[in-house]
């Protein structure tokens, strides 16, 4: 592993030693949690968690402990971040110190070269590269003073005279010896003036080995001018080094300030992130626990309530509505009303101990040669319940149901009725059908998430109910139709949905009702959510009359109560159903107590059914 790589270990501070130490849901009121999730989703659960936290107690301490762990983790992260930036600043300072040291050494060498430049010799150029570079630069780019020192100031007459003198010397050299000629040539070379062209050539070709003969052709004035030019070059380089040092120092200060600002910004960002994470982690912990308990699940990239949660919520709704029912109806809904028929058999569950055949169980134990009663070999009297039920719940989800609390109340009412049916008849079949222009079957989750649609196709909903019930083998078949108005659309022969003709839509609904009433042992209930329009009530009563069932006109807040009392005591039939002419003459309406008290036995239910089929009001 490279030295710069850092090994990051997982943070285990959020993992408690006890599995239930950080469990939030176990300290929340279960019924309130289920209600909040069903009615408002995750936001409702979060609000409930916040409210319970504000109350203090164990939940508040548990959340505070969880938040403290998050804060300690954030503090460690901030500490690591601060140390990283301090390390970077230290490395930056080390680079600065090394750079300044190298620059100072270069300045010191340059200033030593400046001292030599005042009066240097050929040996100085061989040992001082900086001085040699300064001389080269002076020769290549001579200053005005150096140019003036090396200019040829002789007159034309002097130049002609010197030329003839050199020519004469050359002629004489032809007649002299070799050594004399070489001495003469050396003397001629030395006396030849130094031109600017020769200076530039010397500057390009000057090497340390050539420095010994450098000054032989220079006059004292030229040498002094060269020394001054080289010194100025060295001074210029010294100023450049000073400027470079200042720039490096400025760059260091800017980089250090930027690093400090970045460190501070990162620290503040991490603090804000820690605060946001603290809130988010609490919510994620809540969501995680809800998923673990099966209350919510991932659905198309979001968390949605589950069937299990809606079932629990339906049980809560039923429990609340049961409080308004008489005792005998509550027992009937819970499956505790007696049928009066029992059979003797082996014990299956401990709950059957209350109906144990003690003498028979003791005798069986005695015959087996045992002194102890074993549950699996004991006998009980088990109540015989042979009745089976198939119920179809039709819910109007047209656009008008969006008014007020109609649709939410209808959903809750059907949840309560569904739970009551399944509790009373565990093997029952319950079909939930929602309808607007289209008709579709739903489960509990789809029912709870249903939204208002378009027009009301009551006839097609009754047709679907007929298809569901006509082949059912249940001994008891029930239909519940919940609506808030007139049939507005109908399904044509080509299966297209038409709307706008109310009379045709009503006729289509009546024809489908006649089709449905052919189902044997059918008990129908039409529930109309109260409206100021009398036409709606007349339409509901007409459908109920064709279905040979009962009708209820109720406020949405009492819808669940109305459905439950009709399910628990099916002999409750409104007197105005079979005599529509009486509905136009106001008369005394029976009280709720009289309505519920009528027909609580199976004999009364059969009598009421015969009377309803015969077209006479029940007695």
The per-residue pLDDT for 597 is 36
What average pLDDT does the structure give for the chain?
A: 79
Identify the burial level of 38 via C-beta atoms within 10 angstroms of its C-beta, where 0-12 means exposed, 13-18 middle and 19 or more buried: buried
Q: What is the C-alpha separation between 220 and 217, in angstroms, rounded?
A: 10
Q: Cα angle vertex 176, ends 172, 182, to 5°?
A: 95
Residue 327 binned pLDDT confidence (cut-offs 50, 70, 90): confident
pLDDT for 502: 92
∠ CA(305), CA(306), CA(312), 5° rounding? 95
Which pLDDT score is estimated for 439? 94
| pLDDT at residue 508 greater than cutoff 80 | yes
pLDDT greater at residue 610 or residue 116: 116
Position 599 confidence tier, pLDDT thresholds 50, 70, 90: very low
C-alpha–C-alpha distance, residues 182 and 206, integer Å: 25
Question: For residues 51 and 220, which has the higher predicted lDDT (pLDDT)?
Answer: 51
Q: Assess whether pLDDT exceeds 60 at residue 346.
A: yes
pLDDT tens track for 258-297: 988 988 998 888 888 888 888 888 888 889 999 988 899 9
**274-288, 461-475, 485-499, 588-602: the lowest-pLDDT one:** 588-602
Residue 134 pLDDT: 78
Residue 617 has pLDDT above 60, yes or no: no
Q: Assign 233 a pLDDT band (cuts: 50, 70, 90).
A: confident
Q: Which CATH superfamily is domain 389-614 in?
A: von Willebrand factor, type A domain (3.40.50.410)
User: In the chain, which segments carry CATH 3.40.50.410?
Assistant: 389-614
Residue 195 pLDDT level (bands cut at 50, 70, 90): low
What would the mean pLDDT of 18-43 be, rounded to a whole number? Answer: 83
CB atoms within 10 A of CB 155: 8
Q: Which residue has the higher pLDDT, 463 or 601?
A: 463
Q: What is the pLDDT of residue 177?
A: 59
Q: Which residues pair with 107 in a beta bridge?
A: none
Q: Within 118-219, where are the H helices? A: 122-127, 129-140, 144-150, 156-174, 178-191, 196-205
Say whether pLDDT at 449 is over 60: yes
Cβ–Cβ under 8 Å, residues 88 and 258: no
Higher pLDDT, 255 or 163: 255
The pLDDT of residue 438 is: 93
Q: Which helix (H) or strand (E) holds 77?
A: helix 57-117
Mean pLDDT of 158-179: 68
Residue 372 has pLDDT above 80, yes or no: no
CB 507 within 8 Å of CB 489: no
The rounded percent of the chain whose pLDDT value lies above 90 is 32
pLDDT at residue 35, rounded to an integer: 93
User: Does 161 score more than 90 pLDDT?
Assistant: no
Residue 173 pLDDT greater than 70, yes or no: no
pLDDT tens for each residue of 406-443? 999 999 999 999 999 988 888 889 999 999 999 999 99
Transcribe 506-557 into DSSP letters: HHHHHHHHHHHTTSTTEEEEEEEE--S-HHHHHHHHHHHHHHT-EEEEE-GG
User: pLDDT-based confidence at 585, cuts 50/70/90?
Assistant: very low
Q: Which long-range contacts (CB under 8 A, 24 or more apart) does 585-594 make?
A: 592/565, 593/326
The DSSP secondary-structure symbol of 7 reads P
pLDDT at position 463 is 95
Assigned token pair, 268: 């503040």
pLDDT of residue 336: 55
Query: Hey, what are 341's tokens?
Result: 């028929």
Residue 342 phi/psi, 5-degree rounding, is: -135, 155
pLDDT range class, residue 16, cuts 50, 70, 90: very low
Amino acid 22: pLDDT: 67
CA distances from 59 to 20, 53, 71, 294, 365 (A): 12, 6, 18, 21, 52
**Diameter of the chain by CA atoms?**
172
The C-alpha atoms of residue 286 and residue 10 are separated, in whole angstroms, by: 22
What pLDDT score does 131 carry? 76
pLDDT tens string 351-363: 677 788 888 888 8
* Tens digit of each residue's pLDDT (9 = 90 or more) over 74-118: 888 888 888 998 998 899 999 989 998 998 888 888 888 888 777
* Tokens representing residue 580 in the block: 């529509």
Q: How far is the C-alpha of 508 from the C-alpha of 486, rounded, in Å?
A: 12
Q: Helix H segments across 295-405?
A: 307-322, 327-333, 358-368
Positive or negative: CA dihedral 408, 413, 418, 420: positive
C-alpha angle with apex 11: 7 to 12, nearest 5 degrees? 135
SS3 content of the chain, % helix, strand, coil (to 5): 65, 10, 25
Least confident of 58-67, 147-156, 495-504, 524-533: 147-156
Output the CA torsion sign for 59, 61, 65, 68: positive
pLDDT confidence tier of residue 571, bands split at 50, 70 and 90: very low
Q: Tell me the sheet residues that pair with 303.
A: 298
pLDDT at 112: 83
Are 528 and 536 contacting, i.e. CB atoms less than 8 angstroms apart?
Answer: yes
Does residue 546 carry a pLDDT above 80?
A: yes
In the chain, the percentage of residues whose pLDDT exceeds 70 is 73
* Cα first-last separation, the chain: 95
What single-letter DSSP state applies at residue 441?
E
The residue ranges of DSSP E strands in 327-435, in sequence order, are 342-346, 379-383, 389-396, 429-435
Tokens linked to 219: 């006059």
- What pLDDT score does 328 carry? 74
- Lookup: tokens for 567: 């399910």
Q: In the predicted model, is pLDDT for residue 45 greater than 60?
A: yes
Concatenated DSSP letters of 348-360: -SGGGGGGB-HHH
């Amino acid at each position: 592993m490279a030295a710069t790589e850092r090994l990051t270990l997982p943070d285990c501070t959020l993992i408690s030693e006890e599995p239930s130490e950080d469990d939030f849901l176990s300290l929340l009121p279960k019924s309130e949690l289920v209600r909040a999730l069903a009615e408002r989703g995750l936001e409702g659960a979060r609000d409930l968690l916040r409210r319970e936290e504000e109350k203090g107690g164990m939940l508040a301490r548990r959340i505070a402990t969880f938040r403290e762990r998050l804060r300690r983790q954030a503090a460690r992260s901030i500490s690591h971040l601060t140390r990283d930036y301090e390390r970077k600043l230290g490395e930056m300072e080390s680079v600065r110190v090394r750079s300044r040291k190298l620059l100072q050494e270069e300045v010191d060498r340059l200033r030593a070269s400046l001292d030599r430049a005042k009066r240097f010799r050929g040996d100085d150029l061989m040992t001082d590269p900086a001085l040699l570079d300064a001389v080269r630069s002076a020769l290549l780019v001579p200053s005005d003073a150096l140019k003036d020192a090396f200019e040829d100031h002789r007159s034309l007459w002097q130049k002609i005279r010197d030329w003839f003198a050199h020519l004469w010397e050359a002629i004489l050299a032809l007649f002299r010896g070799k050594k004399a000629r070489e001495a003469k040539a050396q003397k001629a070379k030395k006396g030849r003036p130094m031109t600017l062209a020769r200076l530039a050539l010397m500057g390009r070709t000057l090497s340390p080995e050539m420095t010994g003969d450098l000054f032989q052709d220079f006059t004292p004035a030229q040498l002094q001018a060269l020394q001054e030019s080289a010194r100025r070059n060295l001074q210029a380089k010294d100023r450049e080094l000073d400027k470079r040092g200042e720039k490096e120092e400025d760059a260091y200060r800017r980089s250090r300030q930027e690093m400090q600002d970045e460190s501070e910004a990162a620290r503040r960002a991490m603090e804000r992130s820690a605060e946001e994470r603290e809130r988010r982690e609490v919510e994620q912990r809540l969501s995680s626990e809800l998923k673990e308990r099966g209350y919510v699940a991932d659905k198309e990239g979001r968390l949605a309530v589950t069937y299990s949660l809606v079932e629990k919520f339906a049980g809560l709704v039923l429990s609340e509505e049961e409080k308004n029912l008489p005792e005998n109806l509550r027992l009937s809904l819970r499956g505790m009303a007696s049928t009066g028929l029992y059979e003797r058999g082996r014990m299956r569950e401990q709950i059957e101990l209350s109906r144990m055949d003690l003498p028979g169980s003791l005798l069986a134990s005695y015959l087996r040669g045992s002194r102890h009663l074993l549950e699996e070999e004991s006998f009980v009297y088990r109540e015989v319940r042979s009745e089976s039920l198939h119920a179809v719940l039709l819910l109007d989800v047209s656009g008008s149901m969006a008014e007020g609390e109609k649709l939410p109340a209808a959903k809750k009412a059907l949840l309560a009725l569904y739970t009551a049916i399944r509790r009373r008849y565990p093997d029952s079949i319950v079909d939930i059908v929602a309808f607007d222009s289209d008709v579709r079957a739903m489960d509990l989750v789809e029912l709870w998430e249903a939204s208002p649609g378009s027009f009301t196709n009551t006839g097609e909903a009754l047709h679907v109910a007929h298809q569901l019930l006509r082949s059912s083998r249940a001994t008891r078949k029930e239909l519940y139709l919940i609506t808030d108005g007139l049939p507005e659309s109908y399904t044509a022969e080509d299966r297209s949905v038409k709307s706008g003709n109310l009379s045709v839509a009503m006729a289509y609904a009546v024809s489908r009702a006649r089709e449905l009433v052919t189902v044997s042992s059918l008990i129908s209930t039409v529930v109309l959510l109260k409206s100021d329009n009398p036409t709606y009530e007349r339409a509901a009563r007409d459908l109920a009359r064709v279905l040979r069932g009962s009708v209820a006109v109720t406020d949405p807040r009492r819808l669940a109560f109305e459905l439950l009392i009709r399910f628990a005591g099916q002999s409750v039939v409104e007197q105005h159903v079979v005599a529509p002419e009486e509905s136009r003459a106001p008369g005394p309406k029976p009280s709720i107590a009289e309505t519920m008290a009528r027909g609580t036995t199976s004999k009364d239910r059969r009598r009421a059914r015969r009377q309803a089929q015969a077209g006479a009001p029940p007695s």
